[in-house]
Chain A
Amino acid sequence: MAEVKPKPKLNKKAVEMAKQEPKVRAKNFSEVALGYTEAEAQEEASRCLCCPNPLCRTGCPVDVPIPTFVKAIKEKKYAEGIAAIKTKNALPAVCGRVCPQEVQCQNKCVVGKMGDPISIGRLERFLADWERDNGSQLPPKAPDTGKRVAVIGAGPAGLTVAADLVKLGHKITMFEALHVGGGVLSYGIPEFRLPKAIVQGEVNYVQKLGVDLRLGNLVGRIHTIPELMKNGYDAVFIGSGAGLPQFTGCPGENLGGIYSANEFLIRVNLMKAYLFPEYDTPIRLGKKVVVIGGGNVAMDCARSSMRLGSEVCLLYRRSRDELPARHEEIENAEEEGLVCKFLAAPVEFYGDDKGWIKAMKVIAMELTEPDAKGRRGVKEVPGSEFTMDVDTVIIAIGQTPNPIIQSTTGGLVSDPKRGTITVNEVGKTSLDGVYAGGDVATGAATVISAMGAGKRAAKAMHEYLTNKE
């Protein structure tokens, strides 16, 4: 009688990924999460059931063949694994780090119904990092179609469109307004969450595919979209993001020491002010920093400020349950010493005799009953104002799209209230051959949703270009 193999028991616990200790990492800008070792990746991949009908993939906005790459890790075929990811996603090292997998692929994972879902993000990161260490291979490219495409913005949406279309044989010129590629990955997300060398690696990969990247080139001021179309571009993709900071409108907002989240993050990330004076761009933070807002950008500002040596208090007008930031980021931030003040909003900022912020008036808020959509509003609690001492304020209450392109492109329909460019489900704008996606079309959202929009637009643009005479 044949020996019956015992059925392998499902390991309900995911393999933890090592992180820097909170006390240590709260004082440096090195990456917090350290990544899986090969053995850890093997162990985690082996938990995957290899479902015949995998649901994880349906949770991925860019349709990464997740079961294929997890299986490749099990079999130690890492090159095959990363190649499988890159058929759908040109930026795996970024996505493995900053995607909210807990509400996407991992949320659908069958193993997750019995225990921890498979750590798909960590495994993706493992493969991307393996490739960085072992050299990348370029995918095959279709023959030249003779069609030219202008991609505006070298952020997540633009890089995705450029990578997809260049592989299909189109000639791509990517215009980036800043002096560095990557968009929000470079200027927005801090080094400790997404090292800039990794971002540069992904940008370089897209260039190696054959994309011509032009830095310091603000479309709308140098060339307008009508000019680009006249100069021989067959199609244009607008992925210019949401770069316009919003302010509170409270009195005293122009005092010294009050930064928009964008200013703070551009100084710290893009211009590397945390390395001042080795780098020329400074940042000046007081002992007590208040960050206003509750999204991922607010968390990035708070965690960066703590690393620069300040005590940080987060002021959010709703309660903990409504915080829009990723749960993991909130947890990390609190471990590092973040204090949160919920149901509180700014009223006024007060300056000292030199025009620098010294205190702010805050009012308590309360949640109102859910509206028809189930979303709870907030209202001020009358008479609840109080004053707190503070020497720096960072306003992280959202960004809207930069209006330069909308205002220089005749006939381009946009939402006057939100500033977003109006598109259909595949990213087509009101102008023939002009597509848009990412934050410029949706308002500020996630890296992966911008990449998903880029994917859909690239597919539609390819069809458009193929049918175009």
Chain B
Amino acid sequence: MCITKKGSSCGGDCKTYKIVSKKELVPNIKLFEVDAPDVAAQSHAGQFIIVIHGKTGERIPLTICGYNAAKGTVSFAFHEVGKTTKDLGMLNQGEFIDNVTGPLGNPSEIKNFGKLLCVGGSVMIAPLLLQAKAMKEAGNKVTTVLGARTKEFIMMENEAKALSEKVYVATDDGTKGYKGLDFLKELLKTEKFDRCVVMGPVILMKDISAITKPYNIPTVVTLTPIMIDGMGMCGVCRVTVDGKMKFGCVDGPEFDGHKTDFEELIIRQRTMLPEERLSSVLSEMNGGCKCGRSKA
């Protein structure tokens, strides 16, 4: 339901932010396509949006993984990890999200770099493929690596194949494809890449950056620090890049992986962990979302 119907914003005429399609990509990762013409008209690969739903909800920053200006829709994928994302995941096709703000952050630099290595982990595979597609259209030869904890979380393999010269799959436990990322060290000994793009958990971005560094492959990472407003106000997303303080939201979200202080970022991402757990546990005890609907 649109917040503005009962609230104040548009006097009830607002029909935007309708969920036009909902898909479960892999367990607990959902893909929403939402009606948001203003956002769609200005979106580019690499940017993000902030989704807010419910009177008590958080502002959730999510990387854009698709947009269609003609249709007026924007797509995003999210991992149901905490209370707010679980609540969001319970919304169904045809229902409304209260607010989608964006696009925020800077677009990716899309041009013909030559040979491109794209590495995506978990939920961030979806936005990675949006960028990979734009890169391919700009003339790059794309090699894609899809990573996840275990085989059931490897997603969008067919989409990746459609736009890549070669697709590698890796899992932490080796249940599908390579076990871990060590194979990349071997690969880089024989194959030359002009640029590497990584989107995924911080630890993945850190490891890949360490792997590409000896070969001097420019490596772009998409940082996802904690954010609230996402437009430069709160400073919670501050990261250290090349020894300088940067804001993930307005200076990024993409940064040089070889100059990013990942250790600090990992610590900063954990600062609210006890509270996030509490919120999640309480929500489970109360039977999930307070909206009264049963889980889809």
**Given A254-B238, A263-B236, A278-B56, are A221 and B275 also a contact pair (CB < 8 Å)?**
no
Interface residues of A in 216-243 (CB under 8 A from B): 216-218, 221-223, 243
Which of B42, B57, B228 has the most chain A CB atoms closer than 10 A to its own CB?
B228
Q: Tell me, yes or no, whether B158 is within 8 Å of chain A by CB.
A: no
The reply to whether A254 and B228 contact each other, CB–CB distance below 8 Å, is no
Which residue, A178, A247, A402, has most C-beta atoms of chain B within 10 A?
A178
- Once the chains are docked, how many angstroms separate the CA of A282 from the CA of B240? 24
B279 contacts A282, C-beta separation under 8 Å: yes
Number of interface residues of A (CB under 8 A): 52
- Is B250 in contact with chain A by the CB < 8 A criterion? yes
Alpha-carbon separation in the docked complex, A354 to B274 (Å): 13
Within 8 A of B (CB), among A306-322: none
Q: How far is the CA of A222 from the CA of B238 in the complex (A)?
A: 23
Contacts of A254 in B (CB 8 A): 238-240, 245, 264, 268
A407, closest chain B residue (CB):
B250
Is the CB of B256 closer than 8 A to any CB of chain A? no
Main secondary structure of the interface of A (DSSP, over half): loop
With A177-B101, A277-B278 in contact, do A256 and B232 touch (Cβ < 8 Å)?
no
Shortest Cβ distance from B83 into A: residue = A280
Binary per-residue interface labels of chain B (52-95) against chain A in the complex, 1 for a CB within 8 Å, 0 otherwise:
10001111000000000000000000000001100000000000
Instruction: Render B1-45 as a binary contact track against A, CB cut-off 8 A, 1 for contact.
Output: 001100011110000000000000000000000000011001000
Q: In the assembled complex, which residues on chain B have CB atoms less than 8 Å from the CB atom of A253?
A: 245
In the complex, B276 has a CB within 8 A of chain A: yes
B257 CB within 8 Å of chain A: no
CB within 8 Å of B: which of A54-74? none
Interface residue? B194 (CB, 8 A)? no
A214–B13 Cα gap in the complex (Å)?
Answer: 12
Q: Is the CB of A179 within 8 A of B234?
A: no
Among the 9-residue stretches A29-37, A162-170, A199-207, A297-305, the one with 4 or more Cβ atoms under 8 Å from chain B is A199-207
* A61 → B minimal CB distance (Å): 25
| B positions within 8 Å CB-CB of A | 3-4, 8-11, 38-39, 42, 50, 52, 56-59, 83-84, 98-104, 228-229, 231-236, 238-240, 245, 250, 264, 267-268, 270-272, 274-276, 278-279, 282
Sample 8 A-B pairs with CB under 8 A, ordered by A number.
A213-B10, A243-B231, A257-B271, A262-B233, A276-B279, A282-B276, A284-B275, A355-B264
